[in-house]
Amino acid sequence: MARRRRMRAANRLLWEASEWERAWQIALMRIHGVPAMVAGHVVFKDALDMLNCGFARGDAFQFQLGILMIMDVCNEAIKDGDCEQWW
């Protein structure tokens, strides 16, 4: 007797156009004017990739993770005294 595997579809978070626009505004506040030392950070670059992939796939959850990663790396750089707040 063959075993059946249960497959669960991931719960996708669906956004309307206005929600995507607001999310991009939040991301761009941190991206525009970012200091070179933050822009060169691996986590920042990975976060930008997550934003791009999340947007291209319509994956709001991945996009949110990208925003959170950007916010974290920016806040850490400020907290460590590497730069001042730019947004």
pTM for this prediction: 0.79
Q: Express each pLDDT in 7-65 by its tens digit.
A: 444 556 788 999 999 999 999 999 999 999 999 999 999 999 999 999 999 999 999 99
CA distances from residue 69 to 4, 6, 16, 43 in whole angstroms, order as listed: 38, 32, 22, 7
Q: Using CA atoms, how far apart are residues 11 and 8, in angstroms rounded to an integer?
A: 9
Between CA 22 and CA 34 the distance in angstroms is: 19
* Rounded Cα distance, 56 and 79, in Å: 32
